[in-house]
Chain A
């Protein structure tokens, strides 16, 4: 919000609101200035610093382990990116994960095998996503409060079912999703994440559905008048976050081998951080899947690198918080310094 009567505004004459350039920037220069380029540089720096800070970092198995730090969250972040680009938010993802995991654990008590467990995990995710979508897209409620509510509701149901107990004893074949390797050091989770990222990248950047998501995020009313079925697209987006949370629940449950109601507590904030760090505008309308993939990679490497040099998890979270604010503030401060007031 800019205000006309801020006393600290510089007395210099304001630059024109928008200048029309003589010609478009070359593709190369535009790419050089993009958010993704900045993220690649940051990722390279993190990688190098890690390699120097700890002699164990460059070990292939260690690097492979490091990917487990982010693959499960990053799968959710792919769907979350679309939701945020469309101008909404889903804070219930971690709770959906917990409920899906609990549902799988309950089914296990009735003797469900691995295929049933997978179906139940994905199904629970879809159901929860449909519930969110119904409230947000169907009734038109603000997604931030709705998903704060469903976040308590979904995790609450998990607590009602489990209390202070835990489900364990998942079948050995189920362990493959979180512990298996596709080829040498490449884990199943990493391969799955790559497939998910590719699918979402294509969906957002190469289909008309993706263009609709951007249109809704930029101006939902204009999108509606342009013939975009805003409510339906939003409903599908919430279905997708639900589905991805369910998928993530399968991986995490399989990796941990147990379900507690507090599973993945606080993940929603990490996922949102990942998405925003990836250059997705929290106001909607802008962002890309490659950016979010890079951000996921950076966050995973930072936490893993800190872990190798024995930095406690909570100190890492300070760093993530600082990183979140800095990467968003830096371009604003930069533009301010260059005098572009209305950029």
Chain B
């Protein structure tokens, strides 16, 4: 049990995060104040939420490169509606963003399910289409803070029991996804569809439909994040969250979600996102140029992939030992 715990990705990540915190705390004790840690969590909240949506998709042996574009499109629609009609209650706007996101995700899912196009091609295509749609509907214009209603901007930042709503949203999504992935038939179907699609079919799981569900879920999550993003930063333009799709995948990979499908956990994805968030927030504190962030997260991804491969490799059967050694 102890040895197993030592090898688990969650434990390793937790240790890495703790070590990182200790290292920073040694010189900058202010960084590990609860208040500051809470703000780091809040800053990472959207990445956590998105990583969980991506986890569902990757579990089914697919990948969604369009999440950031989906987020930006839903955020822009919410912001434009708010500035045009400030009377619409925030709850309806959020519901609309989630629905729109789910619809965009469903388009990805339908292309993968019904036409059997590889997910990477589908989402590569929809990534540019969704991003372009933002330009088409907004005409390239920004929606600035003064055009948004106060309620729209305040929602994500409002304090509730000591934490902003944004943080609570992440906590809520983490809880919901944990239940979904471990306690519901759909969640188990995600694992089955990615772990061994052929076996899943024989077990009576419709793999295509399961993947469709995963994409729709990821889309809904991107839609929700779209509102949260625009509300938090109080600005919407074509390029918001540009390139963020790779951060999302990085969080999953660092969290031990296997790109080959079927392996991964909510805890891992959350810790993966927190690890990236911590690095991003710690760099300016320890006086390292923020330009280091990209290279560090790249190195972290490579290390994580190597660790993932080691974890998966144990289960692999080697048919021809000699040839494998030669290859």
Seen from chain A, the residues whose Cβ lies within 8 Å of a Cβ on chain B are 1-6, 89, 135, 139-142, 144-146, 148-157, 159-160, 162-164, 224-225, 229-231, 261, 265-266, 269, 272-273, 276, 282-283, 312, 314-315, 317-318, 320-322, 324-325, 328-329, 332-333
Cβ of B144 within 8 Å of any chain A Cβ, yes or no, is no
Cβ-neighbour of B115 out of A4, A156, A312, A329 (below 8 A):
A329
B295/A156 in contact, CB under 8 A: yes
**CA gap between A231 and B293 in the complex, in Å:** 32
Q: Which of A135, A149, A150, A328 contacts B117 (CB 8 A)?
A: A328
Contact (Cβ within 8 A) A224 B323: yes
Would you give 27 A-B contacts (Cβ < 8 Å), ordered by A?
A: A1-B116, A1-B201, A1-B207, A2-B208, A5-B204, A142-B309, A145-B259, A146-B305, A148-B301, A149-B302, A150-B298, A152-B246, A153-B295, A155-B294, A156-B291, A224-B327, A229-B327, A261-B291, A273-B124, A312-B135, A314-B132, A317-B131, A322-B125, A325-B122, A329-B111, A329-B115, A332-B116
Report the separation of the CA atoms of residues A69 and B301 in the bound assembly, to the nearest whole angstrom: 32
Chain A residues whose CB sits within 8 angstroms of the CB of B295 once the complex forms? 152-153, 155-157, 159-160
Q: How far is the CB of B273 from chain A (nearest CB, A)?
A: 15
How many whole Å from A281's CB to the nearest CB in chain B? 9
Do A321 and B128 have beta carbons less than 8 Å apart?
Answer: yes
The chain A residue with its CB closest to the CB of B140 is A312
Residues of A near B129 (CB, < 8 A) are 317-318, 321-322, 325
Q: Is the CB of A139 within 8 A of B133?
A: no
Bound together, the chains give a CA A6 to CA B207 distance in angstroms of 10
Cβ contact of A144, chosen from B120, B122, B131, B135, cutoff 8 A = B120
Sample of 13 more A-B contacts, CB < 8 Å, known A140-B309, A149-B301, A317-B131: A1-B197, A141-B309, A144-B63, A145-B253, A148-B250, A152-B246, A163-B289, A224-B327, A312-B135, A325-B121, A325-B122, A328-B117, A329-B117
Whether A145 touches B301, Cβ cut-off 8 Å, given contacts A230-B327, A276-B121, A282-B118, is: yes
- Chain B 208-266 interface residues, beta-carbon cutoff 8 Å to A: 208-209, 211, 238, 243, 246, 249-250, 253, 259-260
Q: Does B206 contact A (CB under 8 A)?
A: yes
Nearest CB on B from A241, distance (A): 17
Q: How far is the CA of A167 from the CA of B324 in the complex (A)?
A: 46
Are the C-beta atoms of B260 and A142 separated by less than 8 Å?
Answer: yes
Cβ-neighbour of A156 out of B120, B197, B209, B293 (below 8 A) = B293
Decide if B206 touches A328 in the complex (CB within 8 Å).
Answer: no
Please report the number of residue pairs spanning A and B whose Cβ atoms sit closer than 8 angstroms: 168
B78 within 8 A of A: no
Which of A140, A160, A320, A332 counts the most chain B CB atoms within 10 A? A160
Quick check: B291 and A149 within 8 Å, CB to CB? Answer: no
Interface centre among B63, B133, B209, B301 (most CB of A within 10 A): B301
Chain B hits for A276, CB < 8 A: 121
Instruction: Report the separation of the CA atoms of residues A6 and B117 in the bound assembly, to the nearest whole angstrom.
Output: 17
Quick check: is B281 within 8 A (CB to CB) of the other chain?
Answer: no
- How far is it, in angstroms, between the C-alpha of A266 and the C-alpha of B65 when the chains are bound? 13
Residues of B within 8 A of A266 (CB): 243
In Å, the complex CA distance between A324 and B120 comes to: 12
Do B118 and A283 touch (CB < 8 A)?
yes
Asked if B199 is an interface residue, CB under 8 A from chain A, the answer is: no
> Cα distance A146–B128 when bound, in Å?
23
Cα A315 to Cα B204 in complex, Å, equals 43
With A3-B206, A322-B129, A329-B111 as given contacts, are A149 and B298 in contact (CB-CB < 8 Å)? yes
Q: Is B126 an interface position by the 8 A CB rule? A: yes
In the complex, the answer to whether A269 meets B298 with C-beta atoms within 8 Å is no
* Chain A neighbourhood of B116, CB < 8 A: 1-2, 332
Q: Which residues on B sit within 8 Å (CB–CB) of A3?
A: 201, 206-209
Contact with A along B292-315 (1 / 0, CB 8 A): 111111111110011001000000
Given contacts A318-B132, A329-B115, contact A163 B201 (CB under 8 A): no
Instruction: Determine which residue in B127, B140, B211, B259 has the highest number of CB atoms from chain A within 10 A of its CB, and name it.
Output: B259
Residues from chain B with a CB closer than 8 A to the CB of A282 are: 118, 120-121
What's the least CB distance linking A233 to chain B, in Å? Answer: 10
Complex Cα–Cα for A146 and B301 (A): 8
Determine if B206 and A6 form an interchain contact, defined as CB atoms under 8 angstroms apart: yes
Cβ 8 A contact of A269, one of B127, B238, B299, B320: B127
Please give, as numbers and ranges, the residues of chain B lying within 8 Å of A322 by CB-CB distance.
125, 129
- Given A155-B294, A159-B294, A317-B131, verify A1-B208 contact (CB < 8 Å): yes
Contact for B246 among A140, A142, A151, CB less than 8 A = A151
The yes or no answer to B171 lying at the interface (CB within 8 A) is no
Contact A148 B122 (CB under 8 A): no
Which residues in B have their C-beta under 8 angstroms from that of A321?
124-129, 132
Distance between Cα atoms of A144 and B63 in the complex (Å): 10
A214 to chain B, nearest CB (A): 18
Also in contact, A315 and B136, with CB within 8 A (given A148-B246, A153-B298): yes
Most buried by B among A140, A273, A318: A318
Asked if A328 and B208 make an inter-chain contact with CB atoms under 8 angstroms apart, the answer reads no
Contacting residue for B296 out of A156, A230, A328, CB 8 A: A156
Q: Do B132 and A153 touch (CB < 8 A)?
A: no
On whether the beta carbons of A318 and B133 are closer than 8 Å, the reply is: yes
> Measured between C-beta atoms, what is the minimum distance from A50 to chain B in Å?
20
In whole Å, how far is B35's beta carbon from the nearest beta carbon of chain A?
Answer: 30
The 5 closest A-B pairs by CB, nearest first: A156-B295, A152-B298, A153-B298, A318-B132, A149-B301
A152 to B251, CA, bound (A): 13
- A156 partner residues in chain B, CB cutoff 8 A: 291-298
Q: Nearest chain B CB to A328's CB is how many angstroms away? A: 5
The minimal Cβ–Cβ distance linking B295 to chain A, given in whole angstroms, is: 3
A328→B246 contact, CB < 8 A: no
Measured CB to CB, the closest approach of chain A to B288, in angstroms, equals 10
Cβ–Cβ contact B298 & A154, under 8 A: yes
Task: Find the residue from A153, A276, A282, A317 having the highest chain B CB count within 10 A.
Answer: A153
